[in-house]
Amino acid sequence: MSLFSPAEGWYYKKVSKDEKMWMMVALVLCIMLFVWMVMWHVYGKQNPSSITYRTSTAEFSKLSEAYTRQYMVGSDNGIPVVRPEPNSDVFVMGEMWRWSPVLILQKDQSYKFHISSRDLVHGYSIQPVNMNFQVYPGYDYVLEFKPTESGEYKVICNEFCGIGHHTMIGKIVVIEEEADLKAYGYENFKKAPGPALEKKNEPLSETEMALLGEQVYTLKGCGACHKTDGSSQIAPPWNGLFGKEEEVIENGKKISIKVDEAYIKESIKNPQQKITVGFENTPMPVFPVTDDEIDQLIAYIKTLKD
Amino acid sequence: MFRTCDITGFKVDLRSEKLIRYNAVFAVISLLLAVTAAILLVFTRYQPVHLLGAEWYYRLVTFHGLNALIFWIIFFEIAGLYFGSTVVLNTKFCAPKLGWIAFALMVAGLVLSNIIILMGKADVMLTSYTPLKAHPLYYLGIILFAVGALLAVVLFFGNLMIARRDKTYGDTMPLFTYGLMTAAIIAVITLASGALIYIPTFLWSLGLIDNIDPAMYKLIWWGLGHSSQQINVAAMVSIWYMVSFLSVGGTSINERVSRSAFVLYILFICLASAHHLLTDPGVSSAWKVWNTSYAMYLAVLASMIHAFAVPSSFESAQRRWGYNKGLFQWLSKAPWGNPAFSSIILAVIGFGFIGGTTGVIFGMEQTNIIVHNTIAIPGHFKGTVVIGTTLTFMGITYYLIPLIFRRKIVGFGWAKWQPWMFFIGIALLSISMIVLGQMGVPRRHWDSSFSGGPFTYNFNPAVDFFWALMMLGGTLAFLSTVIWILIVVISVFFGPKVNGPADMQLAISPPAPEAKSHKGFEAPGTLALTVIFLLVFLALFFLNWKWLAATWNVN
């Protein structure tokens, strides 16, 4: 009858016994589901946090960079490694396309993560434990994690963030005792010597410059796209780059140039001026780096041979 | 201006019929575009083939989402709204010229957005979360489409007013149209949210606005994105009731209950945006719990009420026809040779057991942690919008071809098993995606071997099996969709004309006889089925919470 007016008296028809029973069961289930969520906040151990701070991409970049610089103990595949104290604040930055830093955590200890993004929306997905959170630019999301099992965890990005989305993968290592570090090749990672190097008054040697350059490379996330092992999925690799002849597009015209100090400086400050052929679809963003840091990066690139 | 249908006896406004036809044709075109992209995407994610490059993968994910979730569904729904407000009510179309303007706007939106996507200017996914930015014309295309759709919804209400004024139906609006009215009201809420977010985003893409806050964007966008799925639910449930009537002469065993359930949809479904913000910063737990539960699950209650009312309408009618033996004779003696009937039964089962269960569980605040943005989420909505809505729309089309296009169905033998093939295909696809997601596989991800990344990750080796199953299911579903499209296109353009009731391949049942007064249960078979459903739901519920409890602690 659903295509016609219902029969007279439809409004007063008694609800049948079985339908009434089912509706009662359904109503009880609905209330139970609601109460369950509320109770999990009391008795459960996994509850998304309500703590968020307003921030800006610039402010959070500064914070997380300072944090990483201070607590960095080494680097793993171009990503800084930090070993935070239990119960301390940990700053995690998501950007196209890396999670930084790599973390060494102690099993059964709590850490207050502050997670934000430098550019787009990202998804913070810890595997294989399979916990997933959303990360926004401009919002500092505070999540207090307590790893309950030791082992190696990966952090993949599960919110689309551009063509290199699939390369965005980070790492968390959870250890029970010091000896566990060996399994990850982290046994020699110690607290960094501190920024004493930069405070010297006399000019730095090329080697010192290159070392600082490597630190900039790691801290600023150059390695998310520019590899040093020759692979070139998203951007030109840096090994063997200095002094190389490169095909670039300038003002829509293809020209050939030699990679020198001036070219690298221009590419960092104004990345759209000359675009390397083959990487037209992955334009480089402008990063906040100082002239000193650029000089250090150049020194570092010079040391990278094929 | 009118013809009287020689099969159903309805007065059909010819101008309305033409609008219904054109909107339906564009629905089918959109579906073809969507599934063509879908099969390429399946074979990209299936890593041994890895068909497309990263760029085209993301481009076609965007393309597929827009054509499947927006264009196919909404064009079909507009056709349905026109049908329910004119033909079913024996009334005329209030403003056919405006109907064509609405249609032209929607077609313009479809063409514009699709061209911009294929040109590579809008690789932003359907959700286009800011600060990802597409070409302004992409947003403009969607705005045009939405304005057209909104105009069509307004015309639907215009038709209702004329029918009411002219008293073309009895005292009470038929249940089918009542359900569609629910869909139309939700559509207004939804399209308003769409305007609220797409217009500023359009201005932002033109450089006229500096910044669109990403959390605000996501909150309002999902007021469009999720609520629009509830338009589908309301439209789909209305069609379920209609097919119960057409195929076995059944009706809701208590129309007041069914209608109240529709009202619950209107009142609570607009809170659904929260389902997408459960693991996000910015909103509090209290806000999340209240909204994600639609104010204590009152919209879920509505679906559970329909879950009983729809099958019981079939059962009660069948029993009155004399199929009274045992719990399930009403089901075994049902008109399984009628593809509309089998589509609807399969859609009810798929929607409930796959889409419904996962929807409620994934939408709870804490369990969302273990599925958010994993491939389990598209797995879930394949179980709602594809196995539910799309299969329902496919099924009802088997009635529309003879009744509205006045053509016989070519290849009727194929039509009989097409719904089964589609059901099996999508069920495999959807269940494998849900399992993959539970193992952490992300959605919208080109390469699960993370090539080019600083590290790599190997998922649980069981994923290989489910990837293969997903590929198989996707292929089956693709083939059966192609079969359906061929049947529809060939029938509509080349099929023999229908000249009266004798040419109907799908039976239209007379209303089932009045029930003799009886004590006890009216639909014991349905009650048994709903209890099974409840047990499956509880099993999945506790499984998911157990998995959640095994993760790290987080606060």
Please indicate whether, in this complex, the C-beta atoms of A5 and B172 are within 8 angstroms of each other.
yes
Question: Chain B partners of A77 at a C-beta cutoff of 8 Å?
Answer: 454-455
As a whole number, the mean pLDDT across chain B is 94
pLDDT of residue B200: 95
> Mean per-residue pLDDT for B524-532?
94
Of A217-231, B13-27, B256-270, B415-429, the one with minimum mean pLDDT is A217-231
The verdict on B517 touching A (C-beta cutoff 8 Å) is: no
pLDDT of residue B452: 87
8 Å CB contact between A102 and A173: yes
- Nearest Cβ partner for B365 among A48, A77, A281: A48
Q: Residue holding tokens 């501190």? A: A194
pLDDT of residue B252: 93
Residue B43 counted as domain residue: yes
8 Å CB contact between B39 and B69: no
Whole-angstrom distance, CA of residue A264 vs CA of residue B369? 43
Determine the 3-state secondary structure of A145 from DSSP.
strand
Please indicate whether, in this complex, the C-beta atoms of A234 and B58 are within 8 angstroms of each other.
no
Please indicate whether, in this complex, the C-beta atoms of A134 and B372 are within 8 angstroms of each other.
yes
Are residues B394 and B431 located together in one domain of the fold?
yes
Are residues B528 and B394 located together in one domain of the fold?
no
Burial A149-178 (b: 16+ CB within 10 A, else e): ebeebbbbbbbbbbbbbbbbbbbbbbbeee
- State pLDDT tens for residues B94-118: 999 999 999 999 999 999 999 999 9
- State pLDDT tens for residues B210-219: 999 999 999 9
Please indicate whether, in this complex, the C-beta atoms of A19 and B309 are within 8 angstroms of each other.
yes
Instruction: Spell out the residues 6+ positions from residue B254 whose beta carbon is closer than 8 angstroms to its own.
Output: A13, A15, A16, A19, B309
- State pLDDT tens for residues B438-462: 999 999 999 999 998 899 999 999 9
State how many domains chain B has.
Answer: 3
Q: Where, residue-wise, is CATH 1.10.760.10 in chain A? A: 196-303
Helix then strand count (H, E) for chain A reads: 6, 15
Which of A:228-257 have CB within 8 Å of B?
231, 233-234
Determine the 3-state secondary structure of B364 from DSSP.
coil
Q: Smallest CA–CA separation between B428 and chain A, in Å?
A: 23
Are residues B52 and B115 located together in one domain of the fold?
yes
> Mean per-residue pLDDT for B45-70?
95
pTM for the model stands at: 0.92
The domain boundary, picked from B171, B204, B226, lies at B171
Q: Residue holding tokens 């939405």? A: B146
* Token digits of residue B461: 């080796």
Q: Which domain holds residue B145?
A: 1-171
Residue A175 forms beta bridges with which residues? A106
Q: Which CATH number fits domain A196-303: 1.10.1740.10, 2.40.30.10, 3.60.20.10, 1.10.760.10?
A: 1.10.760.10
Question: Chain A partners of B238 at a C-beta cutoff of 8 Å?
Answer: 2
Please indicate whether, in this complex, the C-beta atoms of B282 and A132 are within 8 angstroms of each other.
no
The verdict on A128 touching B (C-beta cutoff 8 Å) is: yes
- Nearest Cβ partner for A52 among B244, B282, B453: B282
Instruction: Spell out the residues 6+ positions from residue A99 whose beta carbon is closer than 8 angstroms to its own.
Output: A79, A92, A93, A124, A155, A157, A168, A169, A170, A171
Topology given in CATH for the domain delimited by A52-184: Immunoglobulin-like (2.60.40)
Give the residues of chain A that fall short of pLDDT 50.
none
| Distances B242 to A1, B250, B251, B392, B527 between C-alpha atoms, Å | 8, 9, 8, 11, 21
The verdict on B364 touching A (C-beta cutoff 8 Å) is: yes
DSSP class of residue B504? -
pLDDT at B232 over 90: yes
Are residues B195 and B124 located together in one domain of the fold?
no
Measured in Å, how far apart are chain A's first and last C-alpha atoms?
79
Please indicate whether, in this complex, the C-beta atoms of A30 and B450 are within 8 angstroms of each other.
no
For residue A101, cis peptide bond before it (omega within 30 degrees of 0): yes
Residue A275 forms beta bridges with which residues? A249
Considering only alpha carbons, which residue of chain A is nearest residue B259?
A: A11
Are residues B28 and B60 located together in one domain of the fold?
yes
- Nearest Cβ partner for B554 among A47, A134, A167: A47
pLDDT of residue B203: 96
Rg (chain A; Cα; Å): 26
- Nearest Cβ partner for A41 among B242, B285, B312: B285
> Mean per-residue pLDDT for B505-521?
82
The verdict on A47 touching B (C-beta cutoff 8 Å) is: yes
| Distances A210 to A263, A296, A302 between C-alpha atoms, Å | 18, 6, 8
pLDDT of residue A225: 86
ipTM: 0.91
pLDDT at B273 over 90: no
pLDDT of residue B146: 94
Which of B:125-144 have CB within 8 Å of A?
125, 129-132
- State pLDDT tens for residues A95-122: 999 999 999 999 999 999 999 999 999 9
- State pLDDT tens for residues B73-99: 999 999 999 999 999 999 999 999 999
How would DSSP label each residue in B211-256?
Answer: ---HHHHHHHHHHHHTHHHHHHHHHHHHHHHHHHHHHH----S-HH
Percent share of chain B, pLDDT over 70? 99
Q: Residue holding tokens 């994690």? A: A145
